[in-house]
Amino acid sequence: MKNKAIIITGANGNVGSYFALKFLKLGEKLILLIHKNQHRLQYLIKEYPDQIALVKADISNYTTLGKNLNSTIKTSNWIPKALVHTVSIRNSDFQPLVKSDINLCKKIIDVNLNGTFNILKIVIPYFKKEKYGKIILFGSNVTRIGLPRGSAYAASKAALANISRSLAYEEAASNIIINTISPGPIRIDESHFSESYREFREKYYKEKIKEIPLKRCASFEDIFGVCKFLISEENSYITGEEFFITGGKL
């Protein structure tokens, strides 16, 4: 698979940038999709210039996303073999539904849900042409437990899990495998959040860790191991599944 590449969305995020580093060390070529910022990728771009193609686009804008991504694929002459979709925004106002900011809720749905439709509609035709493709969508354990003061986020993540189940049926004949990874709490870089939101998250972590048998949050490495297997050649049969990485919490 000399000219094959993995597409990673949300590549400048905590999970996306970590996955990029791990895949680059494995020798993979990567098409990294970002919105505006790329500070977490600067080192990787310098260290692995021949393995990275960078795409800037708003994932909720289908036209621009398609134009920029298709152009990069054509220019690089790399054929997509997998999509790791990590893009996600949250309910930063942490309010009950009746008090939530309706514009923020719409933005969450537009990015998390509509953005997923967009990237899938653009990438899947490449997979269908090759009769091969692996897709990972990133959900959350809130798809089965809900998220008080985060209903829009919880709804968008539940939708992704069902998109995965639906596409597993639709694209099985094209040898396209799609699964959802739904982690529990993950410790991430929170420096870009407001002080009030950081306080909310800290309280959330303390409460949730008490419920986790392993008594810790998921690490990036915990999640990467599952993702690496699901998009590998070893996985030719597992599709349409949602994998909860929650340290034993049901």
Question: In angstroms, rounded to a whole number, what is the distance separating the alpha carbons of residues 180 and 178?
Answer: 7
Whether 17 is in a domain gets the answer yes
> Into how many domains does the chain fold?
1
Q: What percent of the chain has pLDDT over 90?
A: 76
Whether 222 is in a domain gets the answer yes
pLDDT at 78: 98
The 10 Å Cβ neighbour count of residue 220 is 18
Distant-in-sequence, close-in-space partners of 202: CB < 8 Å, separation ≥ 6: none
Query: Where do we find the tokens 């009769």?
Result: 131
Smallest CA-to-CA distance from 117 within 73, 164, 70 is with 164
pLDDT at 112: 97
Phi, psi angles (nearest 5°) of residue 149: 65, 30
Asked whether residue 192 carries a pLDDT value surpassing 90, the answer given is no
Mean pLDDT for 215-235 is: 94
Structural domain containing residue 188: 4-245
The predicted-structure confidence for 85-144, as pLDDT tens digits, reads as follows 999 998 777 789 999 999 999 999 999 999 999 999 999 999 999 999 999 999 999 999
Instruction: CATH number of the domain at 236, please.
Output: 3.40.50.720
Mean pLDDT for 42-47 is: 97
Asked whether residue 197 carries a pLDDT value surpassing 80, the answer given is no
Higher local confidence (pLDDT), 1 or 53: 53
Whether 195 is in a domain gets the answer yes
Question: In angstroms, rounded to a whole number, what is the distance separating the alpha carbons of residues 229 and 186?
Answer: 20
Whether 250 is in a domain gets the answer no
Higher local confidence (pLDDT), 249 or 54: 54
Q: How confident is the model at residue 199 (pLDDT cuts 50, 70, 90)?
A: confident
Whether 59 is in a domain gets the answer yes
Asked whether residue 210 carries a pLDDT value surpassing 60, the answer given is yes
pLDDT at 189: 59
Q: Which of 32-36, 104-108, 182-186 has the lowest mean pLDDT?
A: 182-186
Q: How confident is the model at residue 185 (pLDDT cuts 50, 70, 90)?
A: confident
